[in-house]
């Protein structure tokens, strides 16, 4: 299989980790765009992976290492870190960690929310005012931050 002209992985693990590789390709493409628009090489960057994204951090890190070797950011140093999920109450504005909202739920409810975090308002409630107007504010996506150029 070819992804962006670079052979990344063969075999049965490929499909299971396809999502991580797709994300890695997107990260490397973004770095290319950063370089192109600034005319400089990327020296270092940090990748933040949302707690709720269900991506395997080690697989993502490995995919990035492979893809970066073949890009113009080949010697860039990077880290892959977890971005904790935060939930905000639409009624009183209180900000909670995702873990705080789900801690009193039973195991089955926790599992449902693990796979479908959007349902948090159906199961959880604000710790302060009890409102069910909960929104996930962070912890779902993947972002690139602190890009440093040479």
User: By the criterion CB under 5 A, which residues form the site for Zn ion?
Assistant: 89, 91-92, 94, 126, 128-129, 131
Taking the complex as a whole, how short is the minimal distance between the CB of residue 108 and Zn ion, in angstroms? 25
Q: Is the separation of the CB atoms in 141 and 47 below 8 Å?
A: no
Question: Which C-beta is closer to Zn ion: that of 77 or that of 95?
Answer: 95
Taking the complex as a whole, how short is the minimal distance between the CB of residue 88 and Zn ion, in angstroms? 9
Q: Is the separation of the CB atoms in 137 and 89 below 8 Å?
A: no
Q: In the numeric block, which tokens belong to residue 139?
A: 């912890």
Question: Which C-beta is closer to Zn ion: that of 116 or that of 129?
Answer: 129
Taking the complex as a whole, how short is the minimal distance between the CB of residue 50 and Zn ion, in angstroms? 22
Distance CA 67, CA 46 (A): 16
Q: What is the C-alpha radius of gyration for the chain, rounded to an integer number of angstroms?
A: 19
Question: Which C-beta is closer to Zn ion: that of 36 or that of 135?
Answer: 135
């Amino acid at each position: 299989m070819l992804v962006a002209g670079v052979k990344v992985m063969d075999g049965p693990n490929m499909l299971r980790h396809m999502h991580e590789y797709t994300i890695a390709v997107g990260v490397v493409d973004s770095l290319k765009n950063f370089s192109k628009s600034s005319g400089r090489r990327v020296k270092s960057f940090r990748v933040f992976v949302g707690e709720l994204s269900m991506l395997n951090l080690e697989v993502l890190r490995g995919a990035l290492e492979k893809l970066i070797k073949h890009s113009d950011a080949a010697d860039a140093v990077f880290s892959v870190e977890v971005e904790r999920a935060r939930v905000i109450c639409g009624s009183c504005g209180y900000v909670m960690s995702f873990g705080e909202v789900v801690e009193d739920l039973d195991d089955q409810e926790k599992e449902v929310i693990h796979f479908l975090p959007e349902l948090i308002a159906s199961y959880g409630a604000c710790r302060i005012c009890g409102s069910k107007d909960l929104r996930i504010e962070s912890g779902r996506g993947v972002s690139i931050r602190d890009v440093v150029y040479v």
